[in-house]
Amino acid sequence: MPIPTAAVIIHEFLQLISDGQRHDTKVVQERLCDVLAITPEEATRRIPCGKETVLTNRLRNAKFSMRRQGLVLFENSRSVTITESGTRRLTEVTTVARVRTGRL
């Protein structure tokens, strides 16, 4: 399975920290790889310019996007907490998915 888009990563990231507690970013990233079934080979695949891995690039973009949208609070480079906006977004996305699949 290829590395998912930033939108998928954002949703899964928010799911992993949805309890409202402070989480270690490295642990969340490791759990994210497990949840998304990213293999070691996929995790080491580089973007065309070769400067970083596709995974690192997507995670960085997802984190930037979540921070800009106010979905998470990165208290420092090592810890992250979901915000009220992040919880609301997660609830909205889950509700829409259930409506689309008829699993309300």
pTM above 0.75, yes or no: yes
Buried b / exposed e over 62-80, threshold 16 CB at 10 Å, is bbeebeeeebbeeeeeebb
Average the pLDDT over 89-101 and give the result: 65
Report the CATH number that the domain containing residue 69 is assigned in CATH: 1.10.10
End-to-end CA distance of the chain: 28
Residue 95: inside a domain, yes or no? Answer: yes
Does residue 1 sit within a domain?
A: no
Q: Could you read off the pLDDT of 38-91 as tens digits, one per residue?
A: 999 998 999 999 889 999 999 999 999 999 999 999 988 799 999 999 999 998
Judge whether 74 and 25 are in contact, CB under 8 Å: yes
The secondary structure element, H or E, covering residue 74 is strand 72-76
SS3 state at 7? helix
Contacts of 73 (CB under 8 A, 6+ apart): 80, 81, 82, 83
Residue 48: domain span? 6-101
Structural domains of the chain, count: 1
The answer as to whether 57 is a domain residue is: yes
Asked if the structure places residue 41 within a domain, the reply is yes
